[in-house]
Amino acid sequence: MIGPVPVATPDEMESLGRRIATIVDPGDILLLNGSLGAGKTLLVSGIAQALGVDVQVTSPTFLVVRKYEGVLPLTHVDVYRLASTAEFTDLELVEAAADGVLAIEWGGAVRSALPPDLLAIDIKVEERDLRSVTFRGEGEWDVRRLAELTT
Ligand SMILES: Nc1ncnc2c1ncn2[C@@H]1O[C@H](COP(=O)(O)OP(=O)(O)OP(=O)(O)O)[C@@H](O)[C@H]1O
Ligand SMILES: [Mg+2]
Protein backbone atom coordinates (compact mmCIF):
# COMPACT_ATOMS: atom_id res chain seq x y z
CA MET A 1 0.00 0.00 0.00
CA ILE A 2 1.15 3.54 -0.79
CA GLY A 3 -0.28 6.55 0.98
CA PRO A 4 -2.30 8.20 2.18
CA VAL A 5 -0.95 10.87 -0.16
CA PRO A 6 -2.32 14.32 0.73
CA VAL A 7 -3.88 16.19 -2.20
CA ALA A 8 -4.75 19.77 -1.29
CA THR A 9 -6.33 21.17 -4.46
CA PRO A 10 -8.12 20.12 -7.68
CA ASP A 11 -4.95 21.02 -9.62
CA GLU A 12 -2.91 18.70 -7.42
CA MET A 13 -5.39 15.89 -8.10
CA GLU A 14 -4.94 16.30 -11.85
CA SER A 15 -1.21 16.43 -11.40
CA LEU A 16 -1.32 13.15 -9.43
CA GLY A 17 -3.30 11.70 -12.34
CA ARG A 18 -0.58 12.82 -14.76
CA ARG A 19 1.99 10.98 -12.64
CA ILE A 20 -0.16 7.83 -12.55
CA ALA A 21 -0.19 7.92 -16.36
CA THR A 22 3.59 7.48 -16.36
CA ILE A 23 3.40 4.11 -14.58
CA VAL A 24 0.51 2.45 -16.43
CA ASP A 25 0.76 -0.23 -19.10
CA PRO A 26 -1.74 -1.59 -21.63
CA GLY A 27 -4.20 -3.87 -19.89
CA ASP A 28 -3.99 -2.05 -16.57
CA ILE A 29 -7.21 -1.62 -14.63
CA LEU A 30 -7.61 1.26 -12.19
CA LEU A 31 -10.39 0.91 -9.65
CA LEU A 32 -11.40 4.33 -8.32
CA ASN A 33 -13.31 4.59 -5.11
CA GLY A 34 -14.37 7.59 -3.07
CA SER A 35 -17.57 9.42 -2.19
CA LEU A 36 -19.52 11.75 -4.53
CA GLY A 37 -17.30 14.64 -5.53
CA ALA A 38 -14.17 13.10 -4.04
CA GLY A 39 -12.17 13.78 -7.21
CA LYS A 40 -12.29 10.51 -9.16
CA THR A 41 -13.09 12.18 -12.48
CA LEU A 42 -10.42 14.85 -11.95
CA LEU A 43 -7.84 12.14 -11.36
CA VAL A 44 -8.86 10.44 -14.62
CA SER A 45 -8.69 13.83 -16.35
CA GLY A 46 -5.05 14.14 -15.26
CA ILE A 47 -4.29 10.64 -16.52
CA ALA A 48 -5.88 11.54 -19.87
CA GLN A 49 -3.82 14.73 -20.17
CA ALA A 50 -0.57 12.85 -19.72
CA LEU A 51 -1.67 10.18 -22.20
CA GLY A 52 -2.09 12.93 -24.78
CA VAL A 53 -5.88 12.81 -24.91
CA ASP A 54 -6.71 16.17 -26.49
CA VAL A 55 -10.28 16.56 -25.25
CA GLN A 56 -11.48 17.36 -21.74
CA VAL A 57 -12.52 14.30 -19.75
CA THR A 58 -15.96 14.71 -18.23
CA SER A 59 -18.00 12.44 -16.03
CA PRO A 60 -19.32 9.46 -17.98
CA THR A 61 -22.15 9.01 -15.45
CA PHE A 62 -25.00 9.11 -17.97
CA LEU A 63 -23.19 7.31 -20.77
CA VAL A 64 -21.53 4.77 -18.46
CA VAL A 65 -18.46 4.55 -20.69
CA ARG A 66 -16.22 6.67 -22.87
CA LYS A 67 -13.09 5.66 -24.74
CA TYR A 68 -10.41 8.25 -25.47
CA GLU A 69 -7.53 7.96 -27.90
CA GLY A 70 -4.15 8.84 -26.46
CA VAL A 71 -0.63 7.38 -26.45
CA LEU A 72 -2.61 4.50 -24.97
CA PRO A 73 -6.38 4.27 -25.33
CA LEU A 74 -8.13 5.27 -22.10
CA THR A 75 -11.49 3.74 -21.29
CA HIS A 76 -13.34 5.67 -18.59
CA VAL A 77 -16.31 4.02 -16.92
CA ASP A 78 -18.65 5.13 -14.16
CA VAL A 79 -20.64 2.23 -12.78
CA TYR A 80 -22.59 4.33 -10.27
CA ARG A 81 -25.84 3.93 -12.22
CA LEU A 82 -25.43 0.33 -13.27
CA ALA A 83 -28.06 -1.90 -11.76
CA SER A 84 -25.99 -5.05 -11.42
CA THR A 85 -22.63 -6.69 -11.80
CA ALA A 86 -24.17 -8.78 -14.60
CA GLU A 87 -24.96 -5.60 -16.52
CA PHE A 88 -21.31 -4.61 -16.20
CA THR A 89 -20.13 -8.01 -17.40
CA ASP A 90 -22.48 -7.78 -20.41
CA LEU A 91 -20.76 -4.56 -21.55
CA GLU A 92 -17.53 -6.59 -22.01
CA LEU A 93 -15.51 -3.53 -21.14
CA VAL A 94 -12.52 -5.39 -19.76
CA GLU A 95 -12.07 -7.07 -23.13
CA ALA A 96 -12.74 -3.86 -25.08
CA ALA A 97 -10.22 -1.88 -23.01
CA ALA A 98 -7.44 -4.46 -23.01
CA ASP A 99 -5.31 -2.50 -25.49
CA GLY A 100 -5.08 0.41 -23.07
CA VAL A 101 -5.98 1.59 -19.59
CA LEU A 102 -9.37 0.98 -18.00
CA ALA A 103 -10.38 3.42 -15.23
CA ILE A 104 -13.57 2.55 -13.34
CA GLU A 105 -15.29 5.01 -11.00
CA TRP A 106 -17.15 3.33 -8.13
CA GLY A 107 -15.26 0.25 -9.23
CA GLY A 108 -15.63 -1.49 -5.88
CA ALA A 109 -19.24 -2.25 -6.81
CA VAL A 110 -18.16 -4.47 -9.70
CA ARG A 111 -14.99 -5.88 -8.15
CA SER A 112 -16.20 -9.47 -8.46
CA ALA A 113 -16.60 -9.05 -12.24
CA LEU A 114 -12.99 -7.89 -12.69
CA PRO A 115 -9.70 -9.75 -13.02
CA PRO A 116 -7.69 -10.22 -9.81
CA ASP A 117 -4.79 -7.98 -10.88
CA LEU A 118 -5.53 -4.28 -10.66
CA LEU A 119 -4.61 -1.04 -8.96
CA ALA A 120 -7.18 0.16 -6.43
CA ILE A 121 -7.15 3.90 -5.76
CA ASP A 122 -9.16 5.22 -2.82
CA ILE A 123 -9.84 8.92 -2.46
CA LYS A 124 -10.96 10.12 0.94
CA VAL A 125 -12.41 13.56 1.56
CA GLU A 126 -10.69 14.92 4.64
CA GLU A 127 -11.80 18.50 5.18
CA ARG A 128 -12.94 21.13 2.68
CA ASP A 129 -10.57 20.73 -0.32
CA LEU A 130 -8.20 18.27 1.30
CA ARG A 131 -8.20 14.71 -0.04
CA SER A 132 -6.06 11.73 0.84
CA VAL A 133 -5.31 9.13 -1.80
CA THR A 134 -4.32 5.54 -1.09
CA PHE A 135 -2.99 3.07 -3.66
CA ARG A 136 -3.32 -0.68 -3.27
CA GLY A 137 -2.05 -3.19 -5.78
CA GLU A 138 -4.30 -6.26 -5.86
CA GLY A 139 -3.38 -9.70 -7.12
CA GLU A 140 -0.16 -9.65 -9.11
CA TRP A 141 -0.32 -5.94 -9.92
CA ASP A 142 3.28 -4.82 -9.61
CA VAL A 143 3.24 -2.44 -6.67
CA ARG A 144 6.90 -1.60 -7.22
CA ARG A 145 5.76 0.72 -10.00
CA LEU A 146 4.05 2.85 -7.35
CA ALA A 147 7.34 3.90 -5.80
CA GLU A 148 7.78 6.41 -8.62
CA LEU A 149 4.55 8.15 -7.65
CA THR A 150 5.60 9.46 -4.31
CA THR A 151 9.17 10.51 -5.10
N1 LIG B 1 -8.14 18.33 -3.47
C2 LIG B 1 -9.12 18.14 -4.38
N3 LIG B 1 -9.02 17.13 -5.27
C4 LIG B 1 -10.00 16.90 -6.16
N5 LIG B 1 -11.13 17.62 -6.27
C6 LIG B 1 -11.28 18.64 -5.41
C7 LIG B 1 -10.29 18.94 -4.44
N8 LIG B 1 -10.72 20.01 -3.74
C9 LIG B 1 -11.91 20.34 -4.23
N10 LIG B 1 -12.27 19.54 -5.24
C11 LIG B 1 -13.52 19.64 -6.02
O12 LIG B 1 -14.22 18.42 -5.86
C13 LIG B 1 -14.87 18.08 -7.09
C14 LIG B 1 -14.39 16.73 -7.59
O15 LIG B 1 -15.18 16.39 -8.68
P16 LIG B 1 -15.04 15.03 -9.47
O17 LIG B 1 -16.08 15.09 -10.53
O18 LIG B 1 -13.64 14.81 -9.89
O19 LIG B 1 -15.44 13.98 -8.34
P20 LIG B 1 -15.92 12.48 -8.52
O21 LIG B 1 -15.30 11.71 -7.42
O22 LIG B 1 -15.66 12.03 -9.91
O23 LIG B 1 -17.49 12.61 -8.27
P24 LIG B 1 -18.67 11.60 -8.72
O25 LIG B 1 -18.79 10.58 -7.64
O26 LIG B 1 -19.86 12.48 -8.79
O27 LIG B 1 -18.30 11.00 -10.04
C28 LIG B 1 -14.56 19.21 -8.09
O29 LIG B 1 -15.62 20.15 -8.05
C30 LIG B 1 -13.29 19.80 -7.52
O31 LIG B 1 -13.13 21.16 -7.85
MG1 LIG C 1 -16.89 11.26 -11.38
Return the pLDDT at 61. Answer: 67
State the residue range of the domain holding 121.
Answer: 2-150
Residues whose beta carbon lies within 6 Å of some atom of ligand 1: 7-10, 12-13, 34, 36-42, 59, 105, 129, 131
**Alpha helices in 22-150, H assignment, sequence order:** 40-50, 85-91, 93-96, 147-150
pLDDT per residue of the chain (151 residues) written in tens, 0 to 9: 899 999 999 999 999 999 999 999 999 999 999 999 999 999 999 999 999 999 999 887 666 899 999 999 999 999 998 889 999 999 999 999 999 999 999 999 999 999 999 999 999 999 999 999 999 999 999 888 888 887 6
Taking the model in full, what pTM does it have?
0.96
Letter string b/e over residues 37-57, b meaning 16 or more CB atoms within 10 A of that residue's CB: ebbbbbbbbbbbbbbebeeeb
Return the pLDDT at 37. Answer: 96
Return the pLDDT at 59. Answer: 87
**Alpha helices in 8-122, H assignment, sequence order:** 10-21, 40-50, 85-91, 93-96
Closest atom of ligand 1 relative to the 131 alpha carbon = 1
Return the pLDDT at 83. Answer: 84
Q: For residue 59, what is the domain's CATH number?
A: 3.40.50.300
What's the rounded Cα separation, in Å, for the pair 116 and 150?
Answer: 24
The number of domains in the chain is 1
Cβ-contact 132, 3 below 8 angstroms: yes
Return the pLDDT at 151. Answer: 66
Site to substitute for ligand 1 among 7, 15, 40, most atoms within 8 A of C-beta: 40
Closest residue by Cα to atom 9, ligand 1, is 129
